Amino acid sequence: MTPALRRLATVAAGLLLALLVGWPGLLGDYGQFVVASIAFYAIAVMAVSVLAGLCGIWSMGHTAFMAIGAYMAAQFALYSWPVELAILCAAAAAGAAGFLLGFSAGRFSVLYFGLLTLALCMAATEIIGHWTSVTGGDEGIAVLQARSILLGRTLDLRGAVVMTVLLATLALVMVDVVARGPIGRRWLAVKSQRIAAAAMGLRPHVENATAFAFSAAIASLAGVGIAFTISYLDPIAFSLDASVQLIVATVIGGAGSLLGAVLGAVFIVAVPEAARGIANVSVFVFGAATIVVLLFMRRGIVPSLAGWIKPRSVKAPVAADILPIDPSAIEALVRACLPPATESLAIEHLDLRFGGVKALQDITLAAPAGSTLGLIGPNGAGKTSLLNVIGGFYRASSAQRIRFGEHDLMHRSSYARAGLGMGRTFQHAELFAELTVRENIAAAAMLGAPRRLAAGLTDRSPDAIAATIVAALGLSAYAESYPPALPFGVQKVADIGRALALAPSLVAMDEPFSGLDERERSAIRAILRGMRGAGVTILIIDHAVQEVLQVADRIVVLEFGKVLAEGPPEQIRNDPDVHRAYFGADGAPSRSAAA
Answer positive or negative: Cα dihedral of 109, 300, 187, 57: negative
Contact by Cβ (8 Å): 393, 195 = yes
For range 404-424, the mean pLDDT: 92
**249, 272 contact by CB (below 8 A):** no
Helix, strand, coil distribution of the chain in percent, nearest 5? 60, 10, 30
The pLDDT, as a whole number, for residue 322 is 67
> What is the pLDDT confidence band of residue 590, given thresholds at 50, 70 and 90?
very low
Listed in order, strand segments (DSSP E) in 237-289 are: none
Residue % of the chain over a pLDDT of 70: 94
Which DSSP string do the residues of 103-158 spell out, in sequence order? TTGGGS-HHHHHHHHHHHHHHHHHHHHH-HHHH-GGG-EE-PPPEETTTTEE--HH
Q: Are 162 and 37 a contacting pair, CB within 8 Å?
A: no
Nearest C-alpha neighbor of 540 from the set 520, 560, 555, 523: 555
Give the Cα-Cα-Cα angle 257, 260, 266 (nearest 5 degrees).
Answer: 155
Gap between the Cα atoms of 212 and 51, Å rounded: 7
For the residues of 347-378, what is the DSSP string, one character each?
EEEEEEEETTEEEEEEEEEEE-TT-EEEEE-S
Burial (0-12, 13-18, 19+ Cβ within 10 Å), 241: exposed
Q: Please write the tens of the pLDDT for every residue from 40-66.
A: 999 999 999 999 999 999 999 999 999
Q: Which residues pair with 225 in a beta bridge?
A: none
Q: Are 106 and 206 in contact (CB under 8 A)?
A: no
Q: How confident is the model at residue 105 (pLDDT cuts 50, 70, 90)?
A: low
For 59-73, 159-173, 320-334, 370-384, which range has the lowest pLDDT when averaged over its residues? 320-334
Of 341, 356, 366, 314, nearest in space to 505 by CA:
341
- When pLDDT is cut at 50, 70 and 90, the band that residue 584 belongs to is low
Of the ranges 274-278, 444-448, 513-517, the best mean pLDDT one: 444-448
Residue 213 in this model has a pLDDT that exceeds 60: yes
Q: Which amino acid is at 422?
A: M
Contact 559, 548 (CB under 8 A): no
CA 334 to chain centre: 27
User: What per-residue confidence (pLDDT) applies to 347?
Assistant: 95
pLDDT tens, residue by residue, 270-295:
888 887 767 678 788 888 888 888 88
H runs (alpha helix) in 365-455: 383-391, 414-419, 437-454
What is the average pLDDT across 383-408?
93
**Mean pLDDT score, 17-27:** 86
Q: Is the pLDDT confidence value at 316 over 50? A: no
CATH number of 327-341+369-393+417-557+564-594: 3.40.50.300
CA proximity to 539, closest of 402, 395, 393, 369 = 369
The most confident of the ranges 239-243, 318-322, 584-588 is: 239-243
Average pLDDT, the chain: 89
Q: Hey, which bits of 284-356 come out as E strands?
A: 345-354
Closest CA to 225 of 162, 270, 139: 162
Instruction: Mean pLDDT check: name the lowest of 127-136, 293-302, 538-547.
Output: 293-302
C-alpha 154/C-alpha 50 separation (Å) is: 33
Question: Where do the domains of the chain lie?
Answer: 3-238, 327-341+369-393+417-557+564-594
Q: Which helix (H) or strand (E) holds 553?
A: none
Helices and strands per DSSP (H, E), number in the chain = 25, 14
